[in-house]
Amino acid sequence: MKESQPSAIHLKDYTVPAFLIDKTELTFDLDESTTVVTSRLHMRRNPAFGKSTAPLVLDGGEDVKLIGVAMDDYPLPPEEYRVSEDKLIITATADEFVLTCETLIEPQNNTKLEGLYRSSSMFCTQCEAEGFRHITFYLDRPDVMSVFTTTIIADEARYPVMLSNGNQVERGKNDEGKTVVVWHDPFPKPAYLFALVAGDLAVKNDVFTTQSQREITLQIFTESHNIDKVDYAMEALKRSMRWDEEVYGREYDLDIFMIVAVDDFNMGAMENKGLNIFNSSCLLASPETTTDDNYLRVEAIVAHEYFHNWSGNRVTCRDWFQLSLKEGFTVFRDQTFSADMHSATVKRVEDVSFLKTAQFAEDAGPMAHPVRPASFIEISNFYTLTVYEKGSEIVRMIHTLLGEEKFRAGSDLYFERHDGQAVTCDDFVAAMEDASGVDLTQFKRWYSQAGTPIVTATDHFDAETGSYQLTLKQETPATPGQPTKLPLHIPVRVGLLDKEGKALEATVEGVTAQDHVLHLTESEQTVVFSGVTTQPVPSLLRDFSAPVKLRYEYSSEDLLLLMSTDNDGFNRWSAAQQLAVNELNTLIDQAIKGETLAVDSQLVDGFKTLLNDDSLDPAMVALVLALPSQAYLSELANPIYPAAIKQARQYLKQQLATALSAEFERTYQAHSMSSGYQPSAEQIAHRSLKNIALSYWVEAGDEKAQQAVRAQYQSADNMTDQFAALSIAVNGQLDSASELLAAFYEQWQNEPLVVNKWLMLSAAQEQDTALETVKSLMEHPAFDLKNPNKVRSVLGGFGQSVSGFHKADGSGYRFLADQIIVLNKRNPQIASRLCTPLTRWKKLQPELSVQMKAELERILAEDLSKDVYEVITKSLA
Ligand code: B3K
Ligand code: ZN
Spell out, as residue ranges, where the chain has pLDDT lower than 50: 1
Same domain, 66 and 184: yes
Alpha-carbon distance of 723 to 683, in angstroms, equals: 16
Find the 301 Cα to ligand 2 centroid distance in Å: 9
> 423 lies in which domain range?
315-448
Q: Is the CB of 323 under 6 A from ligand 1?
A: no
Same domain, 532 and 474: yes
Which listed residue (114, 271, 305, 327) is catalytic? 305
Alpha-carbon distance of 325 to 427, in angstroms, equals: 9
Same domain, 458 and 536: yes
Nearest Cα to Cα of residue 629 among 761, 802, 757: 802
* Residue minimizing CA distance to atom 2 of ligand 1: 270
Find the 326 Cα to ligand 2 centroid distance in Å: 7
The HSE-up count of residue 371 (CA atoms within 13 Å, CB side) is 26
Nearest Cα to Cα of residue 446 among 387, 530, 494: 387
- How much is the pTM? 0.99
Mutational pocket test of ligand 1: of 112, 271, 388, the residue with most ligand atoms within 8 Å of the beta carbon:
271
Same domain, 195 and 91: yes
666 domain residue, yes or no: no
Q: Is the CB of 304 under 6 A from ligand 1?
A: yes
Find the 677 Cα to ligand 1 centroid distance in Å: 32
Active site residue 663: no
Same domain, 321 and 179: no
Same domain, 144 and 26: yes
Mutational pocket test of ligand 1: of 298, 383, 830, the residue with most ligand atoms within 8 Å of the beta carbon:
383
77 domain residue, yes or no: yes
Alpha-carbon distance of 659 to 605, in angstroms, equals: 10
Which numbered ligand comes closest to the C-alpha of 268?
Answer: 1
Query: Which atom from ligand 1 is nearest to the alpha carbon of 388?
Result: 10
State which of 514, 531, 546 marks the end of a domain: 546
Same domain, 146 and 21: yes
Phi-psi category of 531—alpha, beta or left, where left has phi over 0 and alpha has psi -120 to 50?
Answer: left
Query: Which atom from ligand 1 is nearest to the alpha carbon of 829?
Result: 7
Find the 267 Cα to ligand 1 centroid distance in Å: 7
Same domain, 51 and 15: yes
Q: Is the CB of 129 under 6 A from ligand 1?
A: yes
Which numbered ligand comes closest to the C-alpha of 384?
Answer: 1
Identify the pLDDT of residue 92. 86
Q: Is the CB of 316 under 6 A from ligand 1?
A: no
Q: In whole angstroms, what separates CA 753 from the centre of its chain?
A: 19
440 domain residue, yes or no: yes
854 domain residue, yes or no: no
Find the 239 Cα to ligand 2 centroid distance in Å: 18
Contacts of 96 (CB under 8 A, 6+ apart): 43, 44, 45
CA distances from 488 to 366, 371, 521, 546, 814 (A): 22, 14, 6, 11, 41
3-class DSSP assignment, residue 144: coil
Which CATH number is 534's domain given?
A: 2.60.40.1840
Q: What is the DSSP letter of 488?
A: P
Give the count of domains, the chain.
3
Contacts of 446 (CB under 8 A, 6+ apart): 371, 394, 397, 488, 489
DSSP bridge pairs for 468: 461, 529
State which of 417, 448, 479 marks the end of a domain: 448
Same domain, 432 and 482: no
Q: Which DSSP string corresponds to 735-793?
A: TTHHHHHHHHHHHHTT-HHHHHHHHHHHHT--STTHHHHHHHHHHSTT--TT-HHHHII
State which of 492, 527, 546 marks the end of a domain: 546
* Number of Cβ atoms within 10 Å of the Cβ of 205: 9
CB 161 within 8 A of CB 199: yes
Same domain, 394 and 429: yes
Identify the pLDDT of residue 675. 81
Same domain, 432 and 513: no
CB 841 within 8 A of CB 805: no
Alpha-carbon distance of 276 to 306, in angstroms, equals: 8
727 domain residue, yes or no: no
Q: What is the DSSP letter of 597?
A: P
788 domain residue, yes or no: no
Q: Is the CB of 267 under 6 A from ligand 1?
A: yes
Identify the pLDDT of residue 4. 76
Handedness of CA 738, 742, 743, 744 (dihedral sign): positive
797 domain residue, yes or no: no
405 domain residue, yes or no: yes
Q: Is the CB of 303 under 6 A from ligand 1?
A: no
Query: Which atom from ligand 1 is nearest to the alpha carbon of 301?
Result: 11
**Residue 510 exposed, middle or buried by CB count within 10 Å (0-12, 13-18, 19+):** exposed
Alpha-carbon distance of 648 to 693, in angstroms, equals: 19
Alpha-carbon distance of 265 to 2, in angstroms, equals: 29
Which numbered ligand comes closest to the C-alpha of 112?
Answer: 1
Q: Is the CB of 140 under 6 A from ligand 1?
A: no
Same domain, 355 and 404: yes
